């Protein structure tokens, strides 16, 4: 069984023909126009849905799934997450990584483990790593070349550049 990857969420029905409004979690909106099939979680089991049509709206998409022909039928999808399988993942450019590949990675600086990546925040200026340090405190590190030396996706290791010139511990605790 292949892994599934979260790409969007159904937030409401739209119109009378069974279309739903989805909010994308993907930074690659063109990917939606290439999807023939998605997966929705029902009781911890992923069910396949065939995409009949898709239209782009402002900050959202409107999707019509096969066999969902009224808003009454599509109501069951509201609030559900939309997944794709590994075959439908977007191919990323060099030195770009999926958030799900980064979460859980060990973080090192100066050959010393400083924590684990718990989340990656997508902010307007740049992404930010949420790192749980060895004392379970959250540290925020910008995902920019000034801070990041390299990320090894296979080993799940993020190596930061020497941080003491950029990053000071909080002394107020």
6-57 tens-digit pLDDT: 888 999 999 889 999 999 887 767 778 888 999 998 888 899 999 999 999 9
Residue 122: what pLDDT? 78
97 has a pLDDT exceeding 90:
no
Domain 4-87 has CATH 3.40.640.10: no
More confident: 148 or 93: 148
More confident: 62 or 168: 62
Question: Over the stretch 133-158, which tens digit does the pLDDT of each residue have?
Answer: 989 999 999 988 888 888 988 899 99
| Ranges 38-52, 88-102, 112-126: which has the least confidence | 88-102
Query: Are 157 and 112 within 8 A, CB to CB?
Result: no
Residue 1: what pLDDT? 36
Backbone angles phi, psi at 87, to 5 degrees: -65, -25
Gyration radius of the chain's alpha carbons: 20
Rounded distance, CA 148 to CA 150, Å? 6
Residue 2: what pLDDT? 53
Helix, coil or strand: residue 72: helix
Beta bridge partners of 40: 47, 82
Domain with CATH 2.40.30.60 in the chain: 4-87
Residue 31: what pLDDT? 78
Assign 164 a pLDDT band (cuts: 50, 70, 90).
low
Strands 45-57 and 106-109, how do they pair?
unpaired
95 has a pLDDT exceeding 50:
yes
Sequential DSSP letters for 46-65 = EEEEEEEEEEEETTEEEEEE
Residue 172: what pLDDT? 46
Domain with CATH 2.30.30.240 in the chain: 99-160
Residue 25: what pLDDT? 80
The CATH number that domain 99-160 falls under is: 2.30.30.240
Assign 61 a pLDDT band (cuts: 50, 70, 90).
very high
Structure tokens at 95: 């030195």
């Amino acid at each position: 069984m292949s892994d599934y990857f979260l790409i969007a969420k159904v937030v409401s029905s739209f119109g009378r023909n069974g279309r739903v409004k989805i909010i994308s979690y993907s930074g690659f909106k063109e990917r939606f126009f290439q999807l023939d099939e998605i997966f929705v979680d029902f009781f911890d089991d992923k069910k396949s849905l065939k995409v009949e049509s898709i239209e782009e709206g402002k900050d959202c998409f409107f999707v019509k799934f096969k066999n969902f022909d009224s808003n009454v039928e599509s109501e069951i999808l509201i609030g559900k997450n939309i997944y794709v399988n590994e075959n439908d993942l977007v191919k990323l450019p060099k030195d770009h990584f999926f958030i799900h590949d980064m979460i859980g990675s060990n973080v090192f600086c100066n050959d010393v483990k400083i924590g684990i990546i718990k989340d990656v925040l997508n902010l307007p200026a740049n992404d930010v790593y949420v790192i749980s340090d060895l004392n379970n405190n959250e540290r925020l590190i910008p995902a920019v070349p000034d801070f990041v030396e390299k990320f090894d996706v296979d080993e799940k290791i993020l190596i930061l550049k020497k941080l003491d010139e950029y990053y000071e511990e909080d002394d107020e605790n």
